[in-house]
Structure 1
Amino acid sequence: MIPSTPETATRAFFSFPKVTDPARHRDYNAWHQLDHRPENLALPGVVHGDRWVRTPACERLGSYPDPALAGSQYLAMYWFAEPAADSIAEWKDLGDRTIHQGRRPELAWTERPMTRMFRPVRGYVAPRALVTLAALPFRPHRGVYVEVSRVETSPHPDVADLSRFEHETQVPDLLARDGVAGVWTFRSAPSRGNPDGPVTRIRLTYLEADPVGFARALAADPLPAPPAALASTATPLLTGPLATITPWEWNWFDEPAATENGAGA
Structure 2
Amino acid sequence: MLTDLAFFSFVELADAAQHDAYNRWHQLDHRPENLALPGVAWGDRWARAATTGLAEPGGEFAGTDYVAMYWFRSPVAESVAAWDRLGEASFQWGRGPIIPGVERTLLAFFRPVKGYSAPRVLVDPDVLPYRPNRGIHVTLTRYPEAHGAETHRCFGWEDARLIPALVAVPGVAGAWTFSFSHSQQHTTLPFDGSRTEQPGGLRIRLLYLDGDPVETGEAIRRVENETAAHPDAPQEAGDVLFSSSMRTIIPWQDW
Structure 1 stretch 125-134 or stretch 101-110: which is displaced more?
A: 101-110
Q: Give 1:235's aligned residue.
A: 239
Counterparts of 1:156-235 in structure 2 under 5 Å?
156-189=148-181, 199-221=201-223, 222-225=225-228, 230-235=234-239
Letter in 2 for 1:63: L
Residue 50 (structure 1) aligned with residue 44 (structure 2): yes
C-alpha displacement of 1:45: 0.3
CA distance in 2, matches of 1:171, 1:116: 24
Q: Give 1:111's aligned residue.
A: 103
Q: Give 1:246's aligned residue.
A: 250
Letter in 2 for 1:216: E
1:146 aligned to which of 123, 130, 138? 138
Letter in 1 for 2:80: I
CA offsets, 1:5-38, max 9 Å, x none?
Answer: xx33111000011111111101000000010000
CA distance in 1, matches of 2:249, 2:72: 21
What secondary structure does 1:97 align onto? helix
Residue 68 (structure 1) aligned with residue 68 (structure 2): no
TM-score (norm 2): 0.88
Distance 1:99 1:8, change over 3 A: same
Distance 1:198 1:185, change over 3 A: closer
Cα pair 1:47 1:81 within 8 Å, conserved: yes
Q: Number of aligned pairs?
A: 242
Distance 1:198 1:186, change over 3 A: closer
CA distance in 1, matches of 2:60, 2:149: 29
Q: Give 2:81's aligned residue.
A: 89
C-alpha displacement of 1:51: 0.4
- Name the structure with the higher strand share: 2
CA offsets, 1:52-82, max 9 Å, x none?
Answer: 0004xx12x2011161111110000000000
C-alpha displacement of 1:199: 0.8
C-alpha displacement of 1:107: 1.9
CA offsets, 1:238-258, max 9 Å, x none?
Answer: 01101011111224xxxxxxx
Q: Taking every aligned residue pair, what percent have the same amino acid on both sides? A: 42
CA distance in 1, matches of 2:70, 2:41: 7
Cα pair 1:184 1:205 within 8 Å, conserved: yes
CA offsets, 1:166-185, max 9 Å, x none?
Answer: 00000110111111110000
C-alpha displacement of 1:227: 6.5
Letter in 2 for 1:224: T
CA distance in 2, matches of 1:151, 1:85: 27
Q: Highest CA radius of gyration, 1 or 2?
A: 1
CA distance in 1, matches of 2:13, 2:243: 19
What secondary structure does 2:74 align onto? coil
Structure 1's unaligned 5+ residue stretches are 1-6, 252-265
CA distance in 1, matches of 2:176, 2:222: 23
Distance 1:223 1:240, change over 3 A: farther
C-alpha displacement of 1:134: 1.8
CA distance in 2, matches of 1:197, 1:45: 24
Cα pair 1:153 1:197 within 8 Å, conserved: no
Instruction: Output the aligned Cα RMSD.
Output: 2.3
TM-score (norm 1): 0.85
Distance 1:163 1:19, change over 3 A: same
Counterparts of 1:118-137 in structure 2 under 5 Å?
118-137=110-129
Distance 1:216 1:9, change over 3 A: same
Structure 2's unaligned 5+ residue stretches are 184-194
